[in-house]
Each structure stands twice: as structure tokens, then as C-alpha cells.
Amino acid sequence: MHKISIKHINHRNKDRIAVFFKKDSSLIIKLKSLEYKWSNTKKCWYCDDNLQNLKILNNELKNNYELVFDKEIIAKYSTKAKHTEKILKKYRAQLEIKRYSIHTIKVYTTYFKRFAEHFKTKDIDELSKEDIKNYMFLLLKHENIGGSAQNQIINSIKFYYEKVINRPKELYELDRPRKGRTLPKVLSEKEIFALLKSLSNIKHKAIVGILYSSGLRMSELINLRISDISFEKKIIFVSQAKGKKDRITLLADNIIKILETYMQEYKPNYWLFESPNRGKYSSTSVNKILKSAACKAGIKKNVSAHMLRHSFATHLLEQGVDIRYIQELLGHSSPKTTQIYTYVSNSSLANLTSPLDNNTAFNNMNE
């Protein structure tokens, strides 16, 4: 196995990671693909010195080469890694104190860890607004991240500066990407009926039926307790949903019958839908049910729990339900979020007439 020496150097007044090795054309091609450059003065291939680049180099070469890191790199990154771990521990603790959801904590911590590791040669507490914007520019350039991911990354960084080390908000205001409008994908009422009809398992039918008839998110469904269902009042109590808000949504008459049969047969203990070990039902299992049902029903769309939620809202709108009630049922903070369904509702288009159909001359031409 060929030996490669990896060292820290200063080149053109910047810290670099330098790679030294005997001539190897395949390795040169690999380094070029990783955007390493050749230095005639140092006689080595090099890149910017940061932990992310070091990790990429290690992951790409460790299986085919013997990597030898110099003492300076080992000392530098072992010390920095410990410091980063302390920062991340403090960061996560603050997210938990602020009662962010488990999902948000995971996403924010992942993005912020990458950010902190990128600036291994700098104290992140001293970074400028330009440093942060340049970091975002690099992500946009090399990873082609979308608007939603970009917003999450920005929010994860802002959380550290504003909530962990209490810096003023205005000092770290960042440009936000314009969010493109993507219309929600929905199923027709006929497709919903076909989906439910394809399910012979009563538990699966209850799961899919509640997702559609109550407009629940996946996380809300798997967190439902038996006590959250009121058969008498025909409502479902959604506890501490997105944004840590409680709300009430509909329990359809047809679902009541299915739920009662399911509960008599499966006898759930605490959670409405339980796994075999009496824990919460998993989102993976729900997705498998939806994929299988869609296949059996001959539906070519990529059916998901959120598509059923979109369908619930759209069909209510088509029935003439006031959009403010739909907003409450879905748990949206802003009516603007709910208004997206007006763009996919068939009833909003049904009363419109194309200008071509109003053209008398054209009608006479076809006679």
C-alpha cells in the first residue's frame, strides 16, 4: 500500500493541508477531483486547511493508501475537536431549554456542526457577517442546496449567535433566499376511496383513514394516544404539535366505525397505533403501508402522509369550507400557508371560463 504524507504548511500566507507522495497518476486525478492545487514551490498538492477538507481526504484515500499525518495536524485537530464538542453540547442544551422539537434539534445540530468544523482555524465567536455569508456561498456553489435547506442552515447559525452567546440580532441578519412556490400534490376523492378500499388490514385502514380524514402530519399520527380520541364529540385532540401548539381536528363518522373495530381487535394499550413491543408505531411502517396501498390501487403518484394532508385541505376547500377553519384544523400559524390550497382546488377553477369560450366569432366558425 502506497504511503502518503499529509502535513500542515503555510502557502501564500494561508494555512494549507499539503499532500506529499511518489508519482501516482490515479492519485493526481483523485486530488484534482477534490479541487487540490499543485504548488511548484512546495512540490506538493494542497487545499485550504480545515477539518471538512481533512475528513474528505481521509475518507477518499484511506482504503487504498497508507495515510501518515504529521504531529502538527494531529495536535491541532484533536484540540479543536474537543473545543467544538463543548460548543455543540452547549448549543444542543440551549435548543432543549427553548423546547425545540427533536427533529429541529437534530437538523440544527447537524448543520451547525458542519459550520463550526469549517472554521477550525478561527474562533467562531469572532466570525464576521461576511465570513458567514462566504460560507453560505460555498455551500450554494458546491452543493447546490435548495431554498428550504438554506433557510434552515441560516437559522441554525443565527440560533448560536443570538440565543447561545446572546449577540444582537441585527449584527447577524443574513439575506434570505426567495422561496419558490411549489404547489402541493393531492389525490382526488376517487383515488382516496381506491386507496382505502385496497387495504384489507383494519389497522392499516384506520391509519390511512385518519391521516386523510383529519389532516394530520405523520409525527402527529404516531404520537396520538387513545385518550386523544373523543368518539362522543367526534374530535381528535392533537397535543404539542408543530410549534408546540395544541389543537383539535375532525374525527369522521366513517373512521369512528373503523377505529372501534380496530381497537376491539388490536386492543392498543396507550398509543393509538402501537408497534409489536407496545411502543409508538414508526413512520417507516406508515410509509410502507401507503406505498403498498397505492400500488394495489393502481395509483402512480408517490403517495405520502403529507399528500393525504394536502388532499384533506383541498377537498374541504372544494366543499366550500371557510379557509380560516381549514387553517385551524391544519394548525397553520399563518393564513398565507393555507392559501396555497386555493391554487390546487378544482372548485376555484370550475367557475372560470376561458376567454376562447367567450369568443362568439370562434363559436360561429365551428358551426
- In which domain, by residue range, is 18 found? 3-69
Cα–Cα distance for residue pair 286/304, rounded to 1 Å: 9
Q: In this model, does residue 177 exceed pLDDT 80?
A: no
Note the pLDDT of residue 132.
85
- Higher pLDDT residue, 162 or 138? 162
Do both 268 and 234 map to the same domain? yes
Do both 96 and 219 map to the same domain? no
The mean pLDDT value for 29-40 works out to 92
Residues marked as catalytic: 217, 242, 306, 309, 332, 341
Dump pLDDT digits (tens) for 182-217.
678 889 999 999 999 999 999 999 999 999 999 999
Q: In this model, does residue 283 exceed pLDDT 80?
A: yes
Say if 223 falls within a structural domain: yes
pLDDT-derived band of residue 292, with 50, 70 and 90 as boundaries? very high
Residue 289, classed as helix, strand or coil, is helix
pLDDT-derived band of residue 352, with 50, 70 and 90 as boundaries? very low
**What is the DSSP code (8-state) at residue 12?**
T
Note the pLDDT of residue 119.
78
- Higher pLDDT residue, 201 or 118? 201
Say if 13 falls within a structural domain: yes
Here the CATH number for the domain that contains residue 209 is: 1.10.443.10
Q: What is the total count of domains within the chain? A: 3
Say if 158 falls within a structural domain: yes
The mean pLDDT value for 85-103 works out to 89
Say if 137 falls within a structural domain: yes
| Domain final residue, candidates 172, 198, 222 | 172
Cα–Cα distance for residue pair 206/273, rounded to 1 Å: 9
Dump pLDDT digits (tens) for 131-151.
888 888 877 777 777 777 888
- Rounded alpha-carbon distances, angstroms, from residue 334 to 2, 42, 100, 250: 60, 58, 19, 20
Note the pLDDT of residue 356.
47
Say if 62 falls within a structural domain: yes
Do both 239 and 278 map to the same domain? yes
- State the distance between the two ends of the chain, measured CA to CA, in whole angstroms: 84
**What is the DSSP code (8-state) at residue 105?**
H
The C-alpha cell that represents 278 in the structure block: 407496545
DSSP strands (E only) in 126-276: 229-230, 235-238, 247-250
Under a CB-based contact definition with an 8 Å cutoff, are residues 183 and 344 in contact? yes
The mean pLDDT value for 75-84 works out to 72
The mean pLDDT value of the chain amounts to 84
The C-alpha cell that represents 187 in the structure block: 389525490
| Domain final residue, candidates 128, 146, 172 | 172
Under a CB-based contact definition with an 8 Å cutoff, are residues 154 and 176 in contact? yes
Q: DSSP readout, 23-85?
A: --HHHHHHHHHTT-EEETTTTEEEEE--HHHHHHHHHHHTTTSEEEE-HHHHHHHHHHHHHHH
Q: In this model, does residue 179 exceed pLDDT 70?
A: no
Do both 122 and 205 map to the same domain? no
Cα–Cα distance for residue pair 21/3, rounded to 1 Å: 7
The region of weakest confidence among 96-105, 150-159, 165-174, 229-238 is 165-174
Note the pLDDT of residue 123.
78
